[in-house]
Structure 1
Amino acid sequence: MLIIRRTTAVTLTIARLPIPCTITRSLRVSKLKMETRSSMSMSMSTSNSTGGSGKSGPIVREFVSVEGGSDARGQTDAIRFRLVSYNILAQEVDEFDSFYKKSMEDLGYSSIYIQRSGQKRDGCGIFYKKNCAELLLEETIDYNDLVPLVHGETFLSSDKQNAPLASGNKGDDPKQDLSEKFSELSVKGSPEHRGDPNDPRVRLKRDCVGVMAAFKLKHPFHHVVILANTHLYWDPEWADVKLAQAKYLLARLSQFKTRVTDRFERTPSVILCGDFNSTPGDKVYQYLISGNSSSTSSDRSLEELPLPLCSLYASTSGEPPFTNCTPDFTDTLDYVFFSPSDRLKPVSILQLPELDSPDVAGALPNYSHPSDHLPIGAEFEISKD
């Protein structure tokens, strides 16, 4: 979930939602904080709070300035905002309404949420504060919508797999607008217990979702930001399904940006975050940053993408060594992507632990990290036109 807040404090203090240790299912969570440049002060240390009892508390990592970030802009009326993406653990479907939603409302946040379809008990959402951002438009993404867009058993040839999926169609029904693009889909066979995995209608029905929302920043000037949050399918053996979801995601996000631009006569900045269940350099990652799902060099230009994106960490300090840490798997799966522009610049990133850091010893979750995923995030600055 994405959380928007304007504050004059140095740092945003929102307690990590208390989560039982026995939980097994994930809930995509992110948070976004906004503030004016004049109120900004950066802390670059890693703190280990003790509290009143003297007992060592969880390690809390801070935002650290990227190269040139401390003096990125000279304007005092620029907007700086922080975005932190979480994949936390949740246990039951009613926890969102009975616990998370109410807890955040008590802190002054409104919310947008989509639960996964079928029997799944988690979802994706956005939390925001109305006093710093006005919700203009929202849309949800259900990747099961790919199923009726597949016709017959004709598969794409390999040279078509990397083709962009949308070019900003302005139709009223974005799913219908994309039907022709997804009328043929390349899928591979793999064992599963939900039906014939060679049937695209079975293979694509993964019950994964996403959410998009356009917000108008209120002060010191009005600017529109599109925030999107998603959770792609997990299985590493089903890379073709994840790639189809990534293509559908960018196609829908591109159309959403076009709708927002046309309706509000403003060109929005775009930030996309989530658990993409894909490591740096694989097909999904390559498609999101280049429009080509091949790990080899591409002759396709950035302009051919439905929506050009940059990876936050790759463009500043390099992708982290890991964002997911379990006894059986440790690697980078979570990302923040943003639309490159002269107005939107990352100025700091959230520190992440190294593999030998004590707070990740023995894998996650633990006392410092109540999820097997680490929070990632950045501070962005938007300048006035």
Structure 2
Amino acid sequence: MTINIQESPDKEVQGISSIKDIYEKIKHTESIQSQYTDADLYERKWISRLQGDQSETSSTLSKGTFSALQFNTLAQGLSLPPDHSPPFKLLNPSAVDTTKSIYGGFTEIPHPEISLDFQLRKWRLLEVLLSHPSNTKASNTPQQNLFDIISLQEVDHFHDFFQPILKILGYQGIFVPKPNSPCANSGWYSDGCAFFWNEREFELLHQDLFTYKDPDGNNYNQVCIVATMKHRKSDEIVVFAVTHLKSGKGTKQEVTRTKQVQQLLEKLESIHRLDNDSIQQGSKENIPIIIMGDFNSDIREEESCVQHITFHKEYNKNSQSWKSAYQITPPDDSFYTTWKTRGPKTQKRVIDYIFHNGGDNGSNISCTHVMDVPPEESLEPTKLPGFKYPSDHLSIGAIFEIK
């Protein structure tokens, strides 16, 4: 196991001390990229998930309401230019995917040396995290309507960038790196999963960081964060899971992902049944649980591991029923979470998800709104990533209410 962590402070972060500084840096970065083409981030809005409510904006927020964002950021180590100098010795040169060794394979996008330059792109990634749909276009006054929960994958700059910057905005975070990150194979920093919470809204009670195991007890290269939180305004306990499952298409990969999903659900259901007053209140069968992550599996594809989550109740009558925040059974044809051109191949898929255990004799949580996705006509010709969006995955978001 080799883990390379970037702990040296980002020099640009050292010059940031306020929310205003952050927004000015984002605007400056966008102005640099806009010299090449339109670089405005795609606009998003809330869409109601309540039956009979067609409102596109969030309802009056109760004290039990909070928002959550799920986002695969596209690690720097997976989108490097051809002339980069790795800070470490190549961990496993034979494992480097040569089809993705130049700009992550995104060689068809215009000016990848600018749009994928991480020194610029990191500020655009931060812009995504701050782009709560109720925020207006940032002007001279920074908007402070932030997501309460942020779930991230492919993070290889947690300690030096995301954590110190988000701390200025009032967040605390947890990070777990992959034990053998593909980024480390290229001599770069290890990527992993990160979980952030707004301290004004949530308090961390317990954390469990783990790596999935194969049938022989050996570690897979995929990880998960399970965080038990107290929602301050409602005084309720909510459990969050953040994960990134095995990549790759095909039956073999789906079998691996299904095993990982089974381990995750077993872990969450053991937490759900814990009889421990220090980390729960009320009925031990009624703790809200939210799963967020990049599952690398499209529910529309045969034998998708995601079907194991959505139909888990049918497989085991004693298990919980899980619901997707978004409509995925069946999904709308216009819905996607990744739409990318890598080399000559373009793929549009739904592989990022937000699940919860509310309703149907489950917990007392419900999803009231989700963020829409940009329509096809607004996307750049090469889709994602690009100047108008800094990752090959689209962020998805939801508003939850604890009743």
Superposition TM-score, scaled by structure 1 size: 0.62
Q: Deviations over 1:85-122 (max 9, x none)?
A: 10002225762111111111121211111011024421
1:356-371 paired onto structure 2 within 5 Å: 356-371=376-391
Q: Distance in 2 between matches of 1:104 and 1:110?
A: 7
Q: Which residue of 2 aligns with 1:96?
A: 158
1:230 is aligned to 2:248: no
Determine which of 267, 271, 280 is the counterpart of 1:252. 267
Provide the secondary structure at the position in 2 that maps to 1:255.
helix
Equivalent residue number for residue 107 of structure 2: none
User: In the alignment, does 2:138 pair up with 1:138?
Assistant: no
Alpha-carbon distance in structure 2 between the residues aligned to 1:316 and 1:79: 27
Q: In 1, Cα distance between the equivalents of 2:156 and 2:339?
A: 27
Structure 2 counterpart of 1:111, from 170, 173, 185: 173
CA contact (8 A) 1:212 1:229 kept: yes
Question: Which amino acid letter does the alignment assign opposite residue 379 of structure 2?
Answer: D
| Alignment check: 8 A CA contact 1:79 1:382 kept | yes
- Paired residues of 2:292 and 2:354 also in contact (CA < 8 A): yes
Q: Where does residue 85 of structure 1 map in the other structure?
A: 70
Q: Which residues in structure 2 correspond to 1:367-378 (within 5 Å)?
A: 367-378=387-398
Identity across matched positions, percent: 25
Cα pair 1:216 1:225 within 8 Å, conserved:
yes
- The 5 Å alignment of 1:1-385 reads 57-66=40-49, 67-68=51-52, 77-91=62-76, 95-120=157-182, 121-143=190-212, 145-146=213-214, 148-149=216-217, 205-219=219-233, 221-237=234-250, 238-259=253-274, 263-266=278-281, 267-281=286-300, 282-291=303-312, 300=314, 303-305=317-319, 307-314=320-327, 318=331, 321-327=335-341, 328=345, 329-341=347-359, 343-354=364-375, 356-383=376-403
Q: Secondary structure at the match of 1:101?
A: helix
Q: What is the aligned-residue RMSD (CA, Å)?
A: 3.2
Q: Distance in 2 between matches of 1:368 and 1:317?
A: 29
Partner residue, 1:188: none
Structure 2 unmatched ranges of 5 or more: 1-21, 78-154, 183-189
Amino acid at match of 1:88: T
Cα drift, residue 80 of structure 1: 1.4
> Residues 260 and 268 of structure 1 are in contact (CA less than 8 Å); yes or no, is this contact kept in structure 2?
no
- The answer as to whether partners of 1:290 and 1:302 remain within 8 angstroms in 2 is no
What displacement does 1:291 show?
2.2
Contact 2:207/2:227, CA 8 A, preserved across alignment: yes
Go from structure 1 to structure 2 and tell me whether the alpha carbon gap of 1:360 and 1:350 turns closer, same or farther (over 3 Å shift). Answer: farther
Question: How far apart are the structure 2 equivalents of 1:119 and 1:129?
Answer: 28
Residues 277/316 of structure 1: CA separation in 2 closer, same or farther (3 Å cut)? closer
User: Which residue matches 1:155?
Assistant: none
Alpha-carbon distance, 1:308 to partner: 2.1
Task: Kindly indicate whether the alpha-carbon contact (under 8 Å) linking 1:269 and 1:344 is maintained by their aligned counterparts in 2.
Answer: yes
Change (3 A) 1:211 1:311: same
Distance 1:367 1:348, change over 3 A: same
Counterparts of 2:225 and 2:197 in 1: how far apart (Å)? 14
Report the counterpart of residue 42 of structure 1 in structure 2.
none
Instruction: Find the counterpart in structure 2 of residue 165 from structure 1.
Output: none
| Deviates most, 235-244 or 93-102 | 93-102
CA distance in 1 between counterparts of 2:61 and 2:246 reads 42
Q: Helix, strand or coil: the match of 1:242?
A: helix
Residue correspondences, number: 270
Contact 2:156-2:191 within 8 A present in 1 as well? no
CA drift of 1:146 comes to 3.1
Q: CA deviation at 1:318?
A: 3.9
Secondary structure in structure 1 of the residue aligned to 2:384: coil
Give yes or no for contact 1:208–1:233 (8 Å, CA) kept in 2: yes
TM normalised by structure 2 equals: 0.60
Gaps of 5+ in 1: 1-13, 22-50, 150-200, 293-299
Query: Which residue type is aligned with residue 369 of structure 1?
Result: Y
What whole-Å deviation, never above 9, does each CA across 1:287-339 have from its counterpart, x for those lacking one?
Answer: 011128xxxxxxx366343x321111127994553211112222111111110
CA contact (8 A) 1:68 1:347 kept: no
Aligned partner letter, 1:103: I
- 1:314 aligns to what SS in structure 2? coil
- Distance in 1 between the 2:171 and 2:277 partners? 28
- Contact 1:142–1:208 under 8 Å retained in 2: yes
Q: CA deviation at 1:148?
A: 4.2
List structure 1 runs of 4+ shifted beyond 6 angstroms.
73-76
Letter in 2 for 1:264: I
Post-superposition offset of 1:206: 3.6
Maintained 8 Å contact 1:231/1:276 = yes
